Amino acid sequence: MSKPLLGRHFITTQEWSVAELELALQTSWDLKRKFYRDEPHPLLRDKTLFMMFFEQSTRTRNSFEAGMTQLGGHAHDLTPGKLQISHGETAEDTARVFSRMGHGITIRNCDWGVGNAFMRKVAAMSRVPVLNAQCDLYHPCQALADLMTIREKFPGEVRGRKITVSWTYAPSYVRPISVPHSEILLMTRFGLDVTLAHPPEFKLQPEILAQAEANARAAGAKFETTDDMDAAFEGAHIVYPKSWGCLVHEPDREAAVQHIEKYPDWICDERRMQLAAPEAIYMHPLPASRGQEVTDAVIDGPQSVVWDQAENRLHTAKGLMALTM
């Protein structure tokens, strides 16, 4: 296959053109069709992916590991304890070694103020593509799979469809803000009207909000924010309610948890789903905190597409690897 994206890093969707993202989506659909036809597609035979995961992962790690197997290659699952990084080796030195031994590097590092910077240090020294499996600022693989899912559920033009990205209550821990960042950045570029809803303390990065606004202007779409979850749901075709931390407002994690406790009523339930358009779909990157972020009736109901989202993580990971490695 032609590889115009060979060697390209994928750290944020903002660094790829719309045409390049379209190529990734079309490649993912082609590989999904091959997967369902049980048609061999060893496009990365004898190639190696080094996966550096600093946090736990279910969908992301397995999408890359299973994807590499199905593409004919091999993935190494590497936690910090398996690497000399835990003893002080630098990101740059690790990159120099891995990029001489293999063909791609995937990194998940969501440590606030550290993850994206670490990833870019690796990318600066790597001879092979670095794929962002989530950092403190971006989760581009999730956003790409979500756009694929939206297009499958709304065949034809998705421009002008309203997507609501809303904060939800989930008190167990302070979640990264990378998913809402990547959602508002990618969906505005493809012409969806984006409404971002959150309590006052849960603002996103100002520079990323500015990028989303610029994306919307360029695509002829709308981007707006509100602190009213009900108003945000009204007429939405896609609702994407999930928790994230107030790290922009309050970097101290213990203090941040106290802010979460103020808003237990920010939940996606049957009443709020009725505010959305009749054909609305419910999305979540998982894992979802049942009974806190969302009710069972919604996540297990007919409007939920979370399992399609999860599956499409496999196909888009394969598309990205096939094009860049």
Residues 116 and 185 in one domain: no
User: Residue 254: which CATH number?
Assistant: 3.40.50.1370
Round the CA-based radius of gyration of the chain to a whole number and report it: 19
Q: Which of 297, 312, 168 minimizes the C-alpha distance to 239?
A: 168
Residues 117 and 262 in one domain: no
Question: Is position 263 within any domain?
Answer: yes
How far is residue 202's CA from residue 153's CA, in Å, rounded to a whole number? Answer: 30
> pLDDT tens for residues 130-144?
999 999 999 999 999
Question: Is position 3 within any domain?
Answer: no
CA end-to-end distance (rounded Å), the chain: 12
Q: How many of the other CB atoms lie within 10 Å of CB of 107? A: 26
Token pair in block for residue 111 = 């440590």
Beta-carbon contacts of residue 254 (< 8 Å; ≥ 6 apart): none
Residues 223 and 260 in one domain: yes
Question: Is position 165 within any domain?
Answer: yes
Question: Is position 177 within any domain?
Answer: yes
Residue 291 pLDDT greater than 60, yes or no: yes
Residues 166 and 233 in one domain: yes
pLDDT score for 2: 67
Residues 148 and 90 in one domain: no
CA atoms in the 13 A half-sphere facing the CB of 243: 27
Residues 255 and 206 in one domain: yes
Mean pLDDT of the chain: 96
pLDDT score for 69: 98
Structural domain boundaries, residue 107: 13-139+313-324
Residues 173 and 296 in one domain: yes
Residues 104 and 147 in one domain: no
DSSP state of 325: -
Three-class secondary structure of residue 8 per DSSP: coil
Q: How many domains does the chain have?
A: 2
How far is residue 198's CA from residue 45's CA, in Å, rounded to a whole number? Answer: 45
> pLDDT tens for residues 62-99?
999 999 999 999 999 999 899 999 999 999 999 999 99
Going edge to edge, which strands form the sheet with 193-197? 223-226, 193-197, 162-167, 238-242, 281-282
Q: How many of the other CB atoms lie within 10 Å of CB of 25? A: 19
- pTM to 2 decimal places: 0.97
